[in-house]
Amino acid sequence: MYKNKYRVIIPFLAPAIILYLIFVIYPYGRSMYNSFTSWKGVSANQPFVGLRNYERMINDEFFWNALWHNVQYLFFVPLITISLSLFLAFMINQRVRFANFFRVTFFFPQVISLISIGVLWSYIYHPTIGVVTSIAQFLHMEGFFQQFGFEGIPVWIGDPRTVRMAIASVVIWQAAGFYMVLFLAAMEAIPMSFYEAAIIDGANRWQQFWNVTLPLLWDTMQTALVYSGLGAFNMFAITRVMVVSGSSTNRPADVLSTYLYEQAFEASRFGYATAIGVALFLLMLALSVFTMRVTRRETVEY
């Protein structure tokens, strides 16, 4: 029976393997090859140039500028998103009033397309009719912003000093509900007997969270860190919609994915753009492996 098991398994796996090879492995391999060419994207001619695209990338100040912005997002967006999501999940898990209403409200941005969110927040940040600017004017915050070098209320997505903060705030607002639901599901799976034992030992709410909830959420936390870290390298949709591409004011908001798009579809440098894509893929792969290794802990079973 065991000798013939592969005769049964292989026919079931073959369609999935074939589709995976065609739609995943082949495009990856083709992209790797394209990164060694000077393909313009509109011709079958793909002159092989070796490592020239990668040499150009190393010497490209705009590439490093975009990468630096991704690194900034990587340090702040996952930390704030996961902290906020944990707080929201913990509060809802305490059986507060209207818990279901808050659950739906915080998760609602997840069901809206990123394009719609980008357009919506572009109007919210608008320097004349935007809600954020109107509230700041109502509170007479001009003097507050002048302390930080602004002439008045900032032009949120038009000022190099505030554009990345404005975009990061939108990403955090959009993603927090997803991770809240993720953490909430894990919290609800923790047996109440653990908390009852902690209460008998005299633990308060904070001690229960730190010594009981957080250790038992570590596997979920690891998953959230990987996903949020990858999200910090994939800021294309929000950045592309909220900031006009190709203008001089766009450089403070550039990320690798928007720079890749610009090189491919605006400058017709598909070979160079593919090299940037390969670099982005390797960076995301390295980040995932690093995060999994750093956050590795012994699995707690209950």
Domains (range + CATH), the chain:
5-25+36-294 (1.10.3720.10)
Instruction: State residue 246's pLDDT score.
Output: 43
Mean per-residue pLDDT, 138-142: 88
Does residue 224 contact residue 178 with C-beta atoms inside 8 Å? no
Q: Say if residue 2's pLDDT is above 50.
A: yes
Instruction: State residue 301's pLDDT score.
Output: 63
CA distances from 101 to 2, 111, 295 (A): 53, 16, 33
Q: Say if residue 248's pLDDT is above 60.
A: no
Extract the tokens encoding 276: 């940037």
**What pTM value is reported for the model?**
0.87
Instruction: State residue 245's pLDDT score.
Output: 45
Mean per-residue pLDDT, 30-49: 87
Instruction: State residue 247's pLDDT score.
Output: 47
Q: What is the pLDDT of residues 188-201, one digit of tens each?
A: 888 888 888 888 88
- Please give the share of the chain, as a percent, with pLDDT higher than 70: 94
Q: Which of 130, 159, 128 has its CA nearest to residue 145? A: 159
Does residue 140 contact residue 111 with C-beta atoms inside 8 Å? no
Q: Please give the Cα distance from 133 to 119 (Å, whole number).
A: 16
Q: What is the pLDDT of residues 75-128, one digit of tens each?
A: 999 999 999 999 898 888 877 777 788 888 888 998 888 889 999 999 999 888
